[in-house]
């Protein structure tokens, strides 16, 4: 995040100076935005950067305990530099949050520079690999940096201390977060596909019940309940991969437009990255835990790979923007779009469907049979009607409040759901678009079509209340969707293992005895147990001190 922050907010000169140092690891940087007192509310940060015209320097200071920087990854032990976000004060005026490059440690012996206090913030959730990340705490006591270490692409402070705003939108200050959010969506697909690969392979090996006459037991993957829990997660892994690819394209497109000062797609980039980050990370975190349960008792063993994956993955719901806070950003943009519909302004990009408001508010879903749900046009329209109607309902309810902000606050739980509906529509749409393309490989397209339908109909089934409450579907049509979903699971089943093998993960990368490619699960589990340090001794440490006296005492008592 250090590098993208300098790229996005630094001038060409600053980039020329700092980026080669970072690329060559002559300096190590981190992204120091969040503070002990404020993370989500970026405008509420308290660290100050006060310009001193006498020396042509900024004085970086932490005025309160709550202004201590808290969380930045790489800060605690490794970083020599940070991009620090602080309130810029010049000529006695507070100009709000800006980025500054600040050296924290000596490049000779790595000791903190004068006025800099820093350290690690302590152990984190689980015993997993995230504890190898030195998330840190940082305080400044009037630390001076040259004026040219303020990132000056978006605004400048002159030698005299005058604040000059460039003609670029101030939201570009948040550009690094947009960049990382889009990469987090691709990352969600990777984490989810790992968990699903483990659970599908193990479910094909694991057998329980089913034999009345001494014949073979049933692979748990053949149980309908196992399929109905697992296959939607398999479909989600593919769905997130495709929407992640599309988001990466959108991000590249927006970046190219920004270079020629076209800011028209900035809001779209913010809404899509924020919303997709929130929906995909929440779904993935839940899915990894579900995969653990799908693997029964063995899923709880560290050697299954799932506990570690979960512990390392769950903070994705919080970092780079708490998911609820991000969905409320999407909701704000949805409300703005709805309010502009009457003025005739045509929504664009992923909001374009809202332009069909007259039709979508009235439309009646034409599905009559379970097979009708295989028609992507019916799926698309049902999701569009649900999302639009939820947004319009929210807007109408907010409109009845005494003021907009109060209405937004009161209706925020509903707004969250409207934002989720909008984002799910994007995921479904991008999956449908993907399976319409030419896809090489015999039968691959059909498999992806099945997964696309599983993702859409499972999402519909899970959120059926929304579809019914908005009148987008009838209860009968909801039941038909569920009927079709069951048929799709049966079609996915023969290819389930191939569909996870297609992720092409090595056993080393998966790190799971349950998810082994060769399916040799039981010998591997057995062998793994003997690697437990507790098994290094046959008689445990502490036996003579604690267990033996206890056992002897009980023996004596029983003889009395």
Ligand X SMILES: Cc1cc2nc3c(=O)[nH]c(=O)nc-3n(C[C@H](O)[C@H](O)[C@H](O)COP(=O)(O)OP(=O)(O)OC[C@H]3O[C@@H](n4cnc5c(N)ncnc54)[C@H](O)[C@@H]3O)c2cc1C
Binding mask 62-81 for ligand LOHRUJSQ (x = CB under 6 A): -----------x--------
Q: Strand (E) positions, 224-359?
A: none
Alpha carbons 88 and 59: distance in angstroms, whole number: 10
Alpha carbons 322 and 282: distance in angstroms, whole number: 10
Q: 290, 308, 320, 381: which one is catalytic?
A: 320
Place of tokens 């200071």: 61
Alpha carbons 168 and 177: distance in angstroms, whole number: 17
Stretch that binds ligand LOHRUJSQ, among 233-241, 290-298, 313-321, 533-541 (CB under 6 A): 313-321
Q: Parallel, antiparallel, or unpaired: how do β-strands 69-70 and 136-140 relate?
A: antiparallel
H or E element: which one contains 331? Answer: helix 323-341
Our finding on whether 179 is near ligand LOHRUJSQ (CB under 6 A) is no
Judged by beta carbon, residue 189 or residue 484, the one nearer ligand LOHRUJSQ is: 189
Tell me how far, at minimum, the Cβ of 326 lies from ligand X, in Å: 9
Tell me how far, at minimum, the Cβ of 273 lies from ligand X, in Å: 14
Our finding on whether 404 is near ligand LOHRUJSQ (CB under 6 A) is no
Tokens of 80: 């020599």
Tell me how far, at minimum, the Cβ of 55 lies from ligand LOHRUJSQ, in Å: 31
Judged by beta carbon, residue 328 or residue 488, the one nearer ligand X is: 328
Our finding on whether 11 is near ligand LOHRUJSQ (CB under 6 A) is no
135 binds, among ligand LOHRUJSQ, ligand X, none (CB under 5 to 8 A by kind): ligand X
Alpha carbons 449 and 338: distance in angstroms, whole number: 32
Alpha carbons 252 and 272: distance in angstroms, whole number: 13
Tokens of 462: 């899970």
Query: Residue 236: which of 506, 423, 381, 388 has the closest Cα?
Result: 423
485 binds, among ligand X, ligand LOHRUJSQ, none (CB under 5 to 8 A by kind): none
According to CB under 6 A, which residues from 13 to 42 bind ligand LOHRUJSQ?
31, 33-34, 39-42
Our finding on whether 95 is near ligand LOHRUJSQ (CB under 6 A) is no
* Backbone conformation region of residue 296, classed left if phi is above 0, alpha if psi is from -120 to 50, else beta: left
Judged by beta carbon, residue 320 or residue 466, the one nearer ligand X is: 320
Tell me how far, at minimum, the Cβ of 348 lies from ligand LOHRUJSQ, in Å: 15
Alpha carbons 76 and 70: distance in angstroms, whole number: 9
Our finding on whether 184 is near ligand LOHRUJSQ (CB under 6 A) is yes
Our finding on whether 248 is near ligand LOHRUJSQ (CB under 6 A) is no
Judged by beta carbon, residue 10 or residue 275, the one nearer ligand LOHRUJSQ is: 275
How many C-beta neighbours within 10 Å does residue 147 have?
20
Our finding on whether 3 is near ligand LOHRUJSQ (CB under 6 A) is no
Judged by beta carbon, residue 76 or residue 321, the one nearer ligand LOHRUJSQ is: 321
Alpha carbons 386 and 370: distance in angstroms, whole number: 19
Tell me how far, at minimum, the Cβ of 97 lies from ligand X, in Å: 12
Stretch that binds ligand LOHRUJSQ, among 21-29, 144-152, 181-189, 289-297 (CB under 6 A): 181-189
Judged by beta carbon, residue 36 or residue 354, the one nearer ligand X is: 36
Instruction: Go through the chain and tell me how many residues it has.
Output: 560
Alpha carbons 137 and 67: distance in angstroms, whole number: 10
- 34 annotated among ligand-binding-site residues: yes
Tokens of 151: 């990132």
Which DSSP category does 150 fall into? B
Alpha carbons 409 and 394: distance in angstroms, whole number: 11
Query: Residue 5: which of 134, 150, 118 has the closest Cα?
Result: 150
How many C-beta neighbours within 10 Å does residue 116 have?
20
**Helices in 164-221 by DSSP H: which ranges?**
175-205
Tell me how far, at minimum, the Cβ of 344 lies from ligand LOHRUJSQ, in Å: 19
H or E element: which one contains 384? Answer: helix 376-399
Tell me how far, at minimum, the Cβ of 41 lies from ligand LOHRUJSQ, in Å: 6
Three-state DSSP at 28 gives: coil
Burial letters 277-308, b for 16+ CB under 10 A, else e:
bbbbbbbbbebbbbbbebbeebbebebbbbbb
324 binds, among ligand X, ligand LOHRUJSQ, none (CB under 5 to 8 A by kind): ligand X
Exactly one of 11, 183, 218, 248 binds ligand LOHRUJSQ (CB under 6 A); that residue is 183
Please, which residues have CB within 8 angstroms of residue 8's CB and are 6 or more apart in sequence? 153, 172, 175, 176, 179
Our finding on whether 177 is near ligand LOHRUJSQ (CB under 6 A) is yes
Judged by beta carbon, residue 88 or residue 121, the one nearer ligand X is: 121
What does the binding site for ligand X look like in residue numbers (CB under 6 A)?
31-34, 38-40, 71-73, 135, 315, 318-322, 324-325, 328
320 noted as active-site residue: yes
Judged by beta carbon, residue 180 or residue 419, the one nearer ligand LOHRUJSQ is: 180
Our finding on whether 187 is near ligand LOHRUJSQ (CB under 6 A) is yes
Judged by beta carbon, residue 8 or residue 39, the one nearer ligand X is: 39
Exactly one of 266, 272, 285, 421 binds ligand LOHRUJSQ (CB under 6 A); that residue is 266
- 265 annotated among ligand-binding-site residues: no
- Specify which residues 49 forms β-bridges with: 60, 88
Exactly one of 95, 163, 263, 319 binds ligand LOHRUJSQ (CB under 6 A); that residue is 319
Query: Residue 160: which of 99, 91, 92 has the closest Cα?
Result: 91
* Backbone conformation region of residue 157, classed left if phi is above 0, alpha if psi is from -120 to 50, else beta: beta
User: Which positions are annotated as active-site residues?
Assistant: 320
> Would you tell me which residues interact with ligand LOHRUJSQ (CB under 6 A)?
1, 31, 33-34, 39-43, 73, 171, 174, 177-178, 180, 183-184, 187, 266, 270, 319-321, 325, 329
Give the annotated binding-site residues for FAD: 34, 73
Give the annotated binding-site residues: 34, 73
């Amino acid at each position: 995040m250090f590098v993208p922050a300098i790229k996005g907010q630094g001038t060409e000169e600053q980039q020329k100076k700092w980026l080669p140092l970072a690329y060559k690891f002559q300096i190590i940087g981190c992204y120091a935005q969040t503070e002990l007192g404020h993370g989500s509310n970026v405008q509420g940060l308290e660290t100050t950067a006060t310009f001193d015209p006498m020396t042509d320097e900024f004085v970086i200071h932490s005025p309160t305990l709550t202004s201590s920087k808290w969380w930045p990854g790489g800060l605690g032990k490794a970083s020599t530099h940070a991009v620090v976000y602080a309130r810029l004060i010049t000529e006695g005026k507070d100009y709000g949050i800006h980025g500054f490059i600040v050296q924290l440690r000596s490049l000779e012996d790595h000791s903190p520079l004068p006025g800099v206090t820093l350290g690690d913030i302590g152990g984190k959730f689980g015993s997993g690999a995230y504890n190898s990340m030195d998330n840190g705490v940082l305080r400044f006591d009037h630390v001076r940096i040259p004026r040219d270490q303020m990132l000056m692409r978006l605004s400048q402070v002159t030698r005299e201390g005058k604040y000059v705003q460039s003609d670029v939108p101030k939201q570009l200050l948040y550009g690094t977060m947009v960049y990382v959010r889009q990469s987090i969506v691709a990352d969600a697909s990777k984490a989810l596909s790992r968990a699903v690969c483990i659970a599908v392979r193990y479910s094909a090996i694991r057998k329980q019940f089913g034999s009345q006459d001494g014949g073979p037991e049933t692979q748990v993957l053949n149980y309908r309940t196992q399929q109905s829990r697992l296959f939607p997660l398999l479909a989600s892994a593919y769905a997130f991969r495709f929407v992640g690819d599309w988001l990466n394209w959108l991000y590249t497109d927006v970046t190219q437009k920004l270079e020629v000062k076209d800011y028209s797609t900035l809001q779209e980039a913010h809404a899509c990255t924020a919303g997709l980050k929130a929906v995909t990370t929440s779904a993935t975190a839940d899915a990894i835990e579900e995969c653990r349960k799908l693997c029964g008792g063995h899923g709880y063993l560290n050697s299954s790979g799932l506990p570690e994956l979960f512990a390392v993955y769950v903070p994705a719901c919080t970092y780079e923007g708490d998911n609820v806070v991000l969905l409320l950003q999407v909701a704000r943009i949805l409300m703005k779009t709805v309010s502009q519909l009457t003025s005739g302004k045509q929504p664009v990009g992923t909001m374009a469907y809202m332009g069909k408001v007259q039709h979508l508010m009235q439309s009646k879903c034409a599905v009559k049979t379970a097979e009708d749900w295989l028609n992507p046009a019916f799926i698309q329209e049902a999701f569009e009607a649900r999302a639009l109607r939820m947004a319009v309902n929210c807007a109408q309810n907010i409109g009845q409040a005494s003021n907009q902000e109060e209405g937004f606050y009161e209706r925020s739980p509903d707004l969250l759901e409207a934002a989720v509906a909008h984002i799910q529509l994007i995921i479904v749409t991008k999956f449908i678009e993907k399976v319409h393309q030419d896809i090489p490989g015999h039968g691959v397209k059909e498999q992806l079509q099945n997964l696309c339908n599983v993702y859409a109909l499972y999402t519909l089934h899970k959120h059926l209340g929304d579809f019914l409450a908005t009148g987008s579907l009838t209860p009968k049509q909801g039941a038909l969707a569920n009927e079709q979903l069951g048929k799709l699971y049966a079609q996915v089943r023969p290819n389930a293992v191939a569909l996870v093998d297609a992720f092409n993960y090595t056993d080393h990368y998966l790190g799971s005895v349950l998810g082994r490619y060769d399916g040799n699960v039981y010998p591997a589990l057995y062998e793994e147990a003997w690697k437990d340090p507790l098994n290094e001794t046959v008689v445990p440490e502490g036996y003579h001190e604690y267990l033996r006296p206890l056992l002897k005492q009980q023996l004596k008592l029983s003889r009395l």
